Amino acid sequence: MNPPGGSSPQKKKPKNYRYVVKGINDLVSEQEECETIDETIECIEEQAIISLFQVAILDRETDEVVELIKARDFLDRHK
């Protein structure tokens, strides 16, 4: 059933991202690729000093970095 106004609701296609947790400088060379937000949170929480890490959010189809965010900000957004 169409809503008033005659147009059908648009369904948003879920974004298809992957997440790379990596050090923010040369002193931390660790990098781990994660498939889900939950897996990314778990990976961040395993780190001794969260402030030394950031998360690159990449589009799976284009490999384009959609966003680069501090690990702490990623946790605040998704927890």
Full pLDDT tens readout for the chain, 79 residues = 444 555 445 555 557 999 999 999 877 788 999 999 999 999 999 998 999 999 999 999 999 999 999 999 999 999 8
pTM, to two decimals: 0.79
Backbone angles phi, psi at 19, to 5 degrees: -130, 135
Q: How far is CA 20 from CA 24, 33, 34, 51, in A?
A: 12, 4, 6, 15
- What integer pLDDT is reported at residue 75 of this predicted model? 98
Residue positions counted in the chain: 79
Q: What is the DSSP letter of 8?
A: P
- What integer pLDDT is reported at residue 14 of this predicted model? 59
- What integer pLDDT is reported at residue 67 of this predicted model? 97
Angle between helices 37-45 and 71-78 (to 10 degrees): 130
> Two tokens at 64?
């384009």
